[in-house]
Every structure is written in C-alpha cells, then in structure tokens.
Amino acid sequence: MDEQTRLMHSHTGVGMAGHPGLPQKQDIGDILQQIMTITDQSLDEAQARKHALNCHRMKPALFNVLCEIKEKTVLSIRGAQEEEPPDPQLMRLDNMLLAEGVSGPEKGGGSAAAAAAAAASGGVGADNSAEHSDYRAKLTQIRQIYHTELEKYEQACNEFTTHVMNLLREQSRTRPISPKEIERMVNIIHRKFSSIQMQLKQSTCEAVMILRSRFLDARRKRRNFNKQATEILNEYFYSHLSNPYPSEEAKEELAKKCAITVAQVSNWFGNKRIRYKKNIGKFQEEANMYAARTAVNAANASSHGSQANSPSTPNSAGSAGSFNMSNSGDLFMSVQSLNGDSYQGAQVGANVQSQVDTLRHVISQTGGYSEGLTANQMYSPQGINVRMFFFLSFSPYQLFQSHRAQNGT
C-alpha cells in the first residue's frame, strides 16, 4: 500500500460514531499531527501527504469552514486598521527632492536649484559659473545615485512581492487565503520597502543640503569685481554725484553691464555712498579722474558728431526715464531724470557732470559757480540745479570748445 492510499484509508476508514463520514476528534488530531510533522518529512513524502490531504473527502467542507472563519477574522483586522494618512515626513522629503531637482523630471533641475541657491545667497555672477557647473555636476551625481538606488529598491520590492504572492497563491490551495489578505500582505511589504526608501530619501536630502551649504559658503567668499565692472559703476556714481541713487531700471542695466546681480549693484552703491561721504577728500582724485575721462569721451563723441554734421542722439529711441532735449545749438542730448534714469541716460549725465567739473575754470570766469560744483555737494538740491542750469546752457561741443580755448589747445 502506498503512502497516499494509506493516508486515504486512515482517514476514510474512521468515522464518527453514529455519523458515518464525519471525522472524530481522534481523526482530526491525526490530521493536524500529520500537518504539523509535514515539514520534518522529505520533499517527496511531504508532497505525497499534501496530495493525500488535498484529496481527502472532507477537505472541501473543512476548507470552506476555515475560509468563512478566516474571512471574518480578516475583515475584523481590516476594519481595525484604517487607511493610513500619508507620512508628513515622507511628503517633506519628496517635496524637497522635487524642489532640488533630484526627483521628478530632469529639466535642468541642477541649474535651477543652483540658481535658486544663488538667488538665496544674493545672486550669481558670470565669474562664478565654474562653481555653478561644479554644483550642477555634483547634484547630477546625487540624482543618478538616488535613481539607481531607488530602482534597485523598487526592483527588489517587486521581486519580493511577486515571490510572496506566488507563495500565498500556492498556499491558498491548502489553507484559506483570500485575495484581500494577499493584498494586505502586499501592502505590508510595500510599507516595509517604503520605509527603506525613506531612509534613502533622507540620506539624499542630507547630501543635497551639504552640497548646497558648501556651494553657498563658497559663494560667500568675497571676490572683487573686475576692473571693467568697477569702472562702469564708478562712472555712474561720479556722474550722478548729486543724486547717486540709481533707479531699479538703472540698477538692472548696470548689473547686466557689469555681469553682477542687482543686489550686488545695490551693495556697491550703498558702500560707495557711505565711504564717499565719510572721506570725500580721499575720493576727490577719483572723482576728478572719472569726470575728466567722461568729459573727454563726451567731447570726442561731440566733435565726431559735429564733423559728421549729425547731432549726438544717444538712446534716441528712449528708454524708460530718459528723454531728449533740444539744446541751444543743433546738438541733442539725452537728459536723465534725477531719479529714474536709464544707464544710457546716465552716461550722458556723466558727460555733463564731468564737463562741468573739468571746465570749472571756464564757468568760474562766466558766473563764479565753481564752489557750487564741488563734489562736496553730493546731497545738495542746489547743486543739482546749478549743474542742470549749466548743462542746459551749454552744449557739450560748446563746453569743449570753451575748454580748448581756455587751454589754448
């Protein structure tokens, strides 16, 4: 007699007294004992016993009863554990990774984050592009590692889930396992894996924060502006000495020209104003130098314009804050309003101021306003009026000619 026959016989041969076909307690005990010892047996032996149990005539009835009991238990368990709300910590991490350009679609996320970091620190200059690209490269590296690890976790999760599901399906033939229970098991597995993923996300966030803080620290290292930028700023400053407060548009224009940020332009003017005011004497030479330089530039421009018999019309298209004004001669100059001029207008302003400064002795002969034209009158409205008066009275060419006449050149 083979094992299966023996099993079948042992089960079918014993019936409950008075109830043929129903197993007695002893019988059930035997079955359970067989189930319990099934793992101690060899694979073939176990398979044979399993098969015998599956073929037992009582199996369907017993299985249904167990299914019913299990279903009630599962329902009560399921009822006890409601849908969990999303983990706020995980949401924070996800949001941060998205904002930093680590997760989500890559659309220059690195540079966007770098730009954001730069903006937070007061802006990025052109000479910082090396740092910028370094930041971007490192962020890309972090992003790659993150995605590789995430992929690995997801793959492992899927593999494990499939494996468990197969096991459960297999076991569902011998013990009652409902689809809902399988689903619950899958959820448990996913939760376990997502907690691992959270650790990965946390580590990634930390790495990004460290990178970012290093990037910002590096940016905090002061670097002097290049010579050209300083000259542009100084030119504007000294040509607007009466009111050295560039408008937002002017700041933007200056920032663009100097390849720095508007914030840096504001800083520069803040520093310059305070330092100039504190030590005017020290800056006098610088002021004269810029005034002379702009005067020469303006004169050159004017004389060229005069030779070509065409009026100097800088920015005649008219940017915000500047306007054209006809002069006593046939020359046209763009005059910046005192508070809200464009940079083009500022350059002309520089010409005017420098002409006034350089040709002080010319003016002193005609009206004796030289005292009123010193740089000391930085905040003097009277100073503004005097300058404006002289500016409106003389064309650059006329002023230059007077200057030449005075110097005998």
User: Cβ 108 to DNA, closest distance in Å?
Assistant: 24
Quick one: which segment of 107-115, 172-180, 223-231, 308-316 binds DNA (CB under 7 A)? 223-231
Residue listed under structure tokens 């420098």? 354
Using rule CB under 7 A, residue 297 touches DNA: no
Q: What is the Cβ-side half-sphere exposure of residue 407, based on CA atoms within 13 angstroms?
A: 9
Using rule CB under 7 A, residue 268 touches DNA: yes
Q: Which of 64, 230, 300, 382 binds DNA (CB under 7 A)?
A: 230
Q: Which of 104, 270, 318, 329 binds DNA (CB under 7 A)?
A: 270
Q: How distant, in Å, are the alpha carbons of 106, 113, 140, 143 from that of 137?
A: 13, 12, 5, 10
Instruction: Write each residue from 235 to 264 as x if it is in contact with DNA (CB under 7 A), else as -, in one continuous string.
Output: ----------x--x-----------x---x
172 within 8 A of 181, measured Cβ to Cβ:
no
Quick one: which segment of 194-202, 270-278, 362-370, 397-405 binds DNA (CB under 7 A)? 270-278
- Looking at residue 4, its amino acid is Q
User: Cβ 132 to DNA, closest distance in Å?
Assistant: 14
269 within 8 A of 245, measured Cβ to Cβ:
yes
Using rule CB under 7 A, residue 130 touches DNA: no
User: Cβ 210 to DNA, closest distance in Å?
Assistant: 18
CB closer to DNA, 215 vs 390: 215
CB closer to DNA, 19 vs 220: 220
CB closer to DNA, 77 vs 274: 274
Instruction: Write each residue from 175 to 214 as x if it is in contact with DNA (CB under 7 A), else as -, in one continuous string.
Output: ----------------------------------------
Using rule CB under 7 A, residue 129 touches DNA: no
269 within 8 A of 244, measured Cβ to Cβ:
yes
Using rule CB under 7 A, residue 122 touches DNA: yes
User: Cβ 379 to DNA, closest distance in Å?
Assistant: 8
Q: Which of 121, 161, 297, 374 binds DNA (CB under 7 A)?
A: 121
How many residues of this chain bind DNA (CB under 7 A)? 24
User: Cβ 278 to DNA, closest distance in Å?
Assistant: 7
User: Cβ 384 to DNA, closest distance in Å?
Assistant: 15
Q: At what angle do helices 343-358 and 396-407 cross, to 10 degrees?
A: 30
Q: At what angle do helices 88-99 and 179-220 cross, to 10 degrees?
A: 50
User: Cβ 263 to DNA, closest distance in Å?
Assistant: 7
Using rule CB under 7 A, residue 266 touches DNA: yes
Quick one: which segment of 56-64, 111-119, 217-225, 291-299 binds DNA (CB under 7 A)? 217-225
CB closer to DNA, 107 vs 220: 220
Query: With helix as H, strand as E and coil as C, how does the chain read?
Result: CCHHHHHHHHHHCCCECCECCCCCHHHHHHHHHHHHHHHHCCHHHHHHHHHHHHCCCCHHHHHHHHHHHHHHHHHHHHHHCCCCCCCHHHHHHHHHHHHCCCCCCCCCHHHHHHHHHHHHCCCCCHHHHHHHHHHHHHHHHHHHHHHHHHHHHHHHHHHHHHHHHHHHHHHCCCCCCCHHHHHHHHHHHHHHHHHHHHHHHHHHHHHHHHHHHHHHHHHHCCCCCCHHHHHHHHHHHHHCCCCCCCCHHHHHHHHHHHCCCHHHHHHHHHHHHHHHHHCHHHHHHHHHHHHHHHHHHHHHHHHHHHHCCCCCCCCCCCCCCEEEEECCCCCEEEEECCCCCCHHHHHHHHHHHHHHHHCHHHHHHHCCCHHHHCHHHCCCHHHHHHHHHHHHHCCHHHHHHHHHHHHCC
Q: Which of 141, 171, 271, 407 binds DNA (CB under 7 A)?
A: 271
User: Cβ 212 to DNA, closest distance in Å?
Assistant: 14
Using rule CB under 7 A, residue 273 touches DNA: yes
CB closer to DNA, 226 vs 401: 226
Using rule CB under 7 A, residue 275 touches DNA: yes
User: Cβ 271 to DNA, closest distance in Å?
Assistant: 5
Using rule CB under 7 A, residue 267 touches DNA: yes
Using rule CB under 7 A, residue 225 touches DNA: yes
Q: Binding residues for DNA, per CB under 7 A?
A: 121-122, 220-225, 230, 245, 248, 260, 264, 266-271, 273-275, 277, 282
